[in-house]
């Protein structure tokens, strides 16, 4: 299959829906906060989390439109995490995707609020009864799953543990894995499990998605670490700080294979999920990764 074409089609669907949520007249008192949120949301990055959500719906043979609010919610949360991660109190990064970071462009005060706004909007998208006219008990489970993945026992918790651990010089592999699984893996896992919940996947399908997401999520962060190391960035809390680059690459491939093996219960409708796992890990060989 043509993965680039698949990505383009899905990105258009996601961006089309996001655009609808982010239209605010320039004379509105909320124009500035919307500008700041839009700045990091558009054109955005690879949209990998939201595309995984649509690919999960495809694997189940279900309509993508049903899960578009999940896709938008994930992009909103991911974008908030990047804005806050770049702040002086955290990573203190002046650039993001080759552009000035949100706080450089809008100031720390508005950047903090832009992150808060995006986080809150994610739950507005997912809980909007008008777009989700299905079973409200299932919707509640989906919202719970997102909250767990993003919150203090998920992404925020992973980030908070990393902040504390940074005070120590060295980090052992089990600790590093724990940080990666929470900081990055939980949201990627949620990109699979939330659509599984909402689309009433069987237990077997849900468990397969969960395990695919966990393995891919960890592989994703290892590849991100490898790319940083290849750009010459030395991070204490990264896989290349505890093992050689070749060992990191072998670990990423092992995780990808584990992710792929989970998809054996699905037919060819899961081809996009299979190709995405390969794409994520192949990026570690790219000359100019993004
Ligand atoms: C790059 O994603 C981002 C990561 C690998 C995740 C790093 C984790 C955080 C920033 C969590 C921080 C948490 C808080 C609460 C501040 P990507 O390659 O998909 O980026 P893209 O959107 O540019 O493609
Ligand atoms: Mg960072």
**What digits encode the pLDDT tens for the residues 39-59?**
999 999 999 999 999 999 999
Sorting pLDDT into bands at 50, 70 and 90, what band is 160?
A: very high
- The owner of tokens 């609808």 is 20
User: Does pTM surpass 0.75?
Assistant: yes
150 lines ligand 1 (CB under 6 A): no
184 C-alpha vs ligand 1 centroid, how far in Å? 7
Mean pLDDT score of the chain? 94
Sorting pLDDT into bands at 50, 70 and 90, what band is 131?
A: low
Domain boundaries along the sequence of the chain: 3-285
Using CA positions, which residue lies closest to atom 13 of ligand 1?
81
Q: Inform me whether the pLDDT recorded for 91 exceeds 80.
A: yes
Using CA positions, which residue lies closest to atom 7 of ligand 1?
184
Backbone angles phi and psi of 45, in degrees to 5? -110, -135
Q: Residue 99 belongs to what H/E stretch?
A: strand 99-100
280 lines ligand 1 (CB under 6 A): no
Q: Which atom of ligand 1 is closest in space to residue 187's alpha carbon?
A: 6
**Which residues, at least 6 apart from 162, have a Cβ–Cβ distance to it below 8 Å?**
179, 183, 237
134 lines ligand 1 (CB under 6 A): no
Outline where the chain has alpha helix (H): 3-21, 31-41, 48-59, 64-86, 102-106, 108-127, 136-150, 155-165, 173-180, 186-198, 203-230, 239-242, 245-261, 271-282
Q: How far apart are CA 239 and CA 27, in angstroms?
A: 48
260 C-alpha vs ligand 2 centroid, how far in Å? 28
Backbone angles phi and psi of 100, in degrees to 5? -60, 140
Sorting pLDDT into bands at 50, 70 and 90, what band is 286?
A: confident
Q: Which CATH class is domain 3-285?
A: mainly alpha
Q: How far apart are CA 214 and CA 210, in angstroms?
A: 6
Q: Express each pLDDT in 213-257 by its tens digit.
A: 999 999 999 999 999 999 888 788 899 999 999 999 999 999 999
179 lines ligand 1 (CB under 6 A): no
Query: What single-letter DSSP state applies at residue 96?
Result: E
């Amino acid at each position: 299959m043509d993965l680039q074409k698949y990505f383009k089609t899905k990105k258009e669907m996601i961006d089309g829906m996001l655009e609808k949520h982010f239209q605010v007249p320039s004379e509105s008192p909320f124009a500035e906060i919307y500008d700041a949120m839009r700045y990091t949301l558009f054109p955005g990055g690879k949209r990998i989390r939201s595309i995984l959500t649509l690919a999960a719906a495809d694997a189940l043979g279900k309509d993508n439109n049903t899960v578009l609010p999940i896709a938008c919610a994930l992009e909103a949360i991911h974008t908030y995490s990047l804005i806050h991660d770049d702040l002086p109190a955290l990573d203190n990064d002046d650039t993001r995707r080759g552009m000035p970071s949100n706080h450089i462009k809008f100031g720390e005060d508005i950047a903090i609020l832009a992150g808060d706004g995006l986080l809150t909007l994610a739950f507005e998208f997912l809980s909007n009864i008008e777009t989700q006219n299905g079973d409200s008990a299932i919707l509640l489970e989906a919202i719970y799953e997102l909250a767990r993945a993003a919150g203090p026992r998920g992404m925020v918790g992973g980030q908070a543990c990393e902040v504390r651990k940074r005070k120590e010089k060295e980090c052992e592999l089990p600790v590093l894995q724990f940080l990666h699984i929470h900081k990055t893996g939980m949201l990627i896992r949620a990109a699979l499990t939330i659509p599984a919940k909402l689309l009433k996947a069987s237990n077997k399908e849900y468990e397969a998605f969960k395990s695919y997401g966990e393995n891919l999520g960890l592989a994703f962060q290892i590849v991100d670490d490898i790319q940083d190391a290849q750009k010459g960035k030395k991070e204490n809390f990264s896989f290349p700080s505890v093992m050689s680059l070749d060992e990191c690459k072998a670990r990423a491939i092992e995780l990808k294979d584990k992710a792929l093996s989970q998809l054996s219960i699905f037919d060819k409708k899961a081809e996009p999920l299979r190709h995405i796992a390969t794409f994520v890990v192949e990026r570690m060989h790219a000359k100019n990764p993004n």
